[in-house]
Amino acid sequence: MSAPKGYSTLQIALHWLVALIVVHQFVLHKGIETAWDAYKAGQAAPFSVLAGLHVAGGILVLAFVLARIAMRLKRGAPELPVEEPMVLRLAAHATHWGLYLLLIGLVGSGMAAWFGGVKLAASAHGTFKNLLMLLVGLHVAGALFQHFWLKSDVLRRMMRAG
Ligand code: HEM
Ligand code: HEM
């Protein structure tokens, strides 16, 4: 299968939606933590819109990530500029699949903790969240490096369908 020239509108929309929800998951996590602390202390979890949003947001991320992976496998993704060193292209691929895996791991562990009461899953959730932060940092740095230093069209093609 030959690689497409760019991402589809849907691929782009889902990329930015996932990024937005992930930021929300990080910023507004107090509600779910309070509910989880209450559960661990054997108390009934207080009703919390924020905790509900965290659970719903995470499940939405899973749905979008699975849709994106299906689209990536079916339609493909544009190649990184061929003139760039192999090591850079390998790092980009590893980062992208690492992000997908971590997002799935985060939602899976979150669900096992929340719906199954598995405490070990909650600590895995914490570890995955730290790893995701690290990888997103690398990913954003890579995108900005491509745009401002290498002056490639990699960032632009995640904005405009092609
Ligand atoms: C992309 C998806 C998700 C992200 C990025 C995410 C992120 C986070 C973050 C940043 C925290 C705070 C942890 C801390 O500061 O130590 C947290 C806590 C938590 N999340 Fe998620 N989460 C996601 C999905 C989910 C889902 C789908 C569920 C449940 C169905 C869930 C359940 C929980 C629980 C129970 C806690 C409290 C754990 C604790 O305090 O140890 N999360 N999450
Ligand atoms: C939580 C935040 C984010 C996540 C989880 C995420 C995840 C991903 C993933 C998994 C891909 C691979 C696309 C594919 O399937 O082919 C990708 C591509 C891309 N992302 Fe992000 N992203 C995030 C935030 C950002 C931000 C803030 C920027 C811009 C500064 C950005 C710029 C890009 C670009 C330019 C590509 C395309 C790379 C290429 O064509 O090789 N992302 N992102």
| 3 domain-assigned | no
Does residue 89 lie within any of the structural domains?
yes
User: Rounded to the nearest whole angstrom, what is the distance from the C-alpha of residue 70 to the centroid of ligand 1?
Assistant: 25
Give the total number of structural domains in the chain.
Answer: 1
CB of 45 within 6 A of ligand 1: the answer is no
Ligand 1 binding pocket includes 80 (Cβ within 6 Å): no
Q: What is the pLDDT of residue 82?
A: 84
- Full residue range of the structural domain in which residue 118 is found: 9-158
Is 81 inside any structural domain? yes
Measure CA 49 to chain center.
22
**For atom 9 of ligand 1, which residue has the closest CA?**
26
In this prediction, residue 108 carries a pLDDT of 98
Average confidence (pLDDT) per 10 residues, the chain, 162 residues:
87 98 96 93 86 97 98 91 90 96 98 96 98 98 95 95 88
The predicted model scores a pTM of 0.94
* Secondary structure string (H, E, C) spanning the chain: CCCCCCCCHHHHHHHHHHHHHHHHHHHCCHHHHHHHHHHHCCCCCCCCHHHHHHHHHHHHHHHHHHHHHHHHHHHCCCCCCCCCCHHHHHHHHHHHHHHHHHHHHHHHHHHHHHHHCCHHHHHHHHHHHHHHHHHHHHHHHHHHHHHHHCCCCCCHHHCCCC
Atom 1, ligand 1: which residue's CA is nearest?
58
Give domain status of residue 23, yes or no. yes
pLDDT at 143: 96
